[in-house]
Structure 1
Amino acid sequence: MTNLLNKYSSRITQPKLQGASQAMLYGTGMTAADMDKAQVGIASVWYEGNTCNMHLLDLAEKVKAGVTSADMVGMRFNT
Structure 2
Amino acid sequence: MGPCPCPSFVRLAGRELLAILQGFGLQQVSQRGSHVKLAREVTGTRQVLTVPRLKMALRSQGSRARGSTRRGRNGRH
TM range (shorter): under 0.3
TM-score under structure 2 length normalisation: 0.21
Per residue, is there more strand in 1 or in 2?
2
RCO (CA 8 Å, sep 6+): is it higher in 1 or 2?
Answer: 2
Per residue, is there more helix in 1 or in 2?
1
